Amino acid sequence: MAKGRLYFDHNATAPLLAAAKSAMCDAMDLPGNPSSVHAEGRKARAMIGKAREAVARLCDVPPAQVIFCSGATEAANHVLTPDFRMGRSPVRVSRLYVSAVEHPAILSGGRFAQDQVTVLPVDAEGRLDLKALQEALAGHDQTSGQAMLALQLANNETGVIQPVRQAAELVKAHHGLMVVDAVQGAGRLALSLADLGADFLILSGHKIGGPKGIGALVCAGEILMPAPLLRGGGQEKGHRGGTENLICIAGFGAAANAAREAHDNVGRIAALRDRLEAGLRELAPDVILHGEAVDRLANTSFFSLPGLKAETAQIAFDMEGVAVSAGAACSSGKIGLSHVLAAMGADADLGAIRISLGPEHTENDVEWFLEAFKAINTRRLVRKGAAEAA
């Protein structure tokens, strides 16, 4: 076994890029408040503008349509609201529709009351049931307000890519709003707000190699906007109050620039993932690979081993020097049943291990992982044989 540690958990958080760290260090040297009119303030404001342009290019929108916030969870709570305005006129959204495999930040419904949220089913591979969406939209009471669909671009656990464009077409046909959680897709899939048919995109800095604690709500325009979640001194054109987090915004911008070029690595990372999964099958023919029959993120593998709890396997991998996840890392380290597996009709009690690769990984890293897996699987088979003999 190679010495050191192997980090295979990019979907939880990607390591901070050198370019992002450098941009953050530059921002630390700026004393001015971005809202100040003196030279120091203008310099800080210019740095935010540069980062805003980078995030806008990542999503193929004008910079004015990017609102910085503290992360994807805040962005979700900002946009998932019944209260919108078109210019000075109020616009009511009466119901939020979400898929059953969404991130908890979406499933919680944001500022909608729980009885205003409808959870839609997915198929066995974890993709939104478009027929169920069509039926739900057809039955929506337009007189009470507009419908809103919030749908992830790619699942954070399985990596399964959702039929976002088809869903958006259904939503638009019923005069609704489309929110796309693009947190896992950024830097791994082509990301154009217009091509996706979205009204809003949600982004997170630390998923693409930026710092933790920064994200963005990206809007299709500047006319129809959600009511502010945080009110204050008019920052972000009044959409998000509070002095801007200059240091993290600078790092986010640098990471967004890198994410636009990350597609060059997709084929190589997919080959590593495929080699890893082939190795899993060779060592454990009974391994269950979730979502393998449909399009997935090139960097993600989500698998279960019969007779081995995911949390037990996660600890075993950690002891072997390999960092992996037992599902999503979004509950302060708490490991519980995967709502994603449950929605797919899989064995949620057993759980699954998530492998998520990054651009720094190599074939040697995959072999290191498989060596660790071999040791863990050997112990599983010994326990299984002992149980059958008893």
Homologous superfamily of 6-15+263-389 in CATH?
Aspartate Aminotransferase, domain 1 (3.90.1150.10)
Q: Express each pLDDT in 353-385 by its tens digit.
A: 999 999 999 999 999 999 999 999 999 999 888
Q: Where is pLDDT greater, at 264 or 207? A: 207
Q: What is the DSSP letter of 351?
A: -
**Cα distances (Å, whole numbers) of residue 277 to 103, 162, 232, 287, 333:** 25, 22, 50, 9, 26
Of 105, 333, 70, 6, which is closest to residue 212 (Cα–Cα)? Answer: 70
Q: Express each pLDDT in 228-264 by its tens digit.
A: 999 999 999 999 999 999 999 999 999 999 999 877 7
Q: Express each pLDDT in 298-357 by its tens digit.
A: 999 999 999 999 999 999 999 999 999 986 555 445 556 799 999 999 988 889 999 999
Residue 199: burial class (beta carbons within 10 Å; 0-12, 13-18, 19+): buried
* Residue range(s) occupied by CATH 3.90.1150.10 in the chain: 6-15+263-389
* Residue range(s) occupied by CATH 3.40.640.10 in the chain: 20-260
- Return the pLDDT at 334: 53
Q: Which residues are catalytic?
A: 330
List phi, psi (to 5°) of 151. -140, 135
Does domain 20-260 correspond to CATH entry 3.40.980.10?
Answer: no
Q: Express each pLDDT in 170-206 by its tens digit.
A: 999 999 999 999 999 999 999 999 999 999 999 999 9
